[in-house]
Amino acid sequence: MEEQSLIEIAKSKIGLLELSIRACTHEIEVLSHRRRSEMEQLEAWTTILQAEEIAIHRLGLAAVEIAQDNTTQPDPTPTVHAFDDPVSGETIVELDQYGSKTAVVRLYMEWRGKTGVTTGDVTAHMAERNIKVGANFANNTLFKMKQRGEVVQLGRRYYLKDFAPASMFAPANEKEASEETS
């Protein structure tokens, strides 16, 4: 009888240990997921910071060249942007005066070319790059780029001016076309 109660106590203790191990395992999984998410964010910001360092270096070299040449003035407010080329996987660096995330959008639009982008495309692209953006980021950025005259909108698609469909710039009717040529 005493032997049976010892067995029951041992089984009870083993059951408690199993529950404790499951709880610890679950906690480890949660922490591991958080760490992965934080690492992905860190990688995205590291890419941007590395690009900024490269741009600062380039700006320093440009400033030296300008000082030697003394014929042109540098843009006083450039910022650097990084973009992973989808084909080669290499990071492309570009200077821009409107901010790193905007430059990622601009480079993405260049890559998309004549197909243009929608706000959903931009949001998905930023998510693929682990660049955290707000819910209205794509709308706001494309709207600001449109205000600055960098992009044109046709329906729900936005195009860089260099890649916009020619029909967007064609006269609305033949009368306008003849007025322009006169």
Phi, psi of 13 (to 5 degrees): -65, -40
How do residues 84-124 score in pLDDT, each as one tens digit? Answer: 555 555 555 444 444 578 888 888 898 888 889 999 999 99
Q: DSSP label at 118?
A: -
Q: How far apart are CA 114 and CA 173, in angstroms?
A: 24
0.75 surpassed by pTM: no
Residue 142 pLDDT level (bands cut at 50, 70, 90): very high
How do residues 15-66 score in pLDDT, each as one tens digit? Answer: 899 999 999 899 988 888 888 888 888 888 888 877 777 777 666 666 555 5
Cα dihedral 138, 140, 145, 148, rounded to 10, equals: 180
Q: Is it the case that residue 79 has pLDDT exceeding 80?
A: no
pLDDT for 112: 87
Tokens of residue 53, six digits: 């360092």
Q: Are the CB atoms for 138 and 122 separated by under 8 Å?
A: yes
Q: Is it the case that residue 146 has pLDDT exceeding 90?
A: yes
pLDDT for 85: 54
Residue 103 CB coordination number (10 Å): 22
Mean pLDDT of 133-153: 91
pLDDT for 62: 60
pLDDT for 61: 62
pLDDT for 95: 41
pLDDT for 51: 77
| DSSP conformation letters of 59-98 | HHHHHHHHHHH-S----SS-EEEEEE-TTT-PEEEEEESS
Q: Is 149 helix (H, G, I), strand (E, B) or coil?
A: coil
Residue with tokens 């843009």: 75
More confident residue, 82 or 34: 34
pLDDT for 59: 67
Tokens of residue 40, six digits: 């992905």
Q: Is it the case that residue 158 has pLDDT exceeding 90?
A: yes
pLDDT for 41: 84
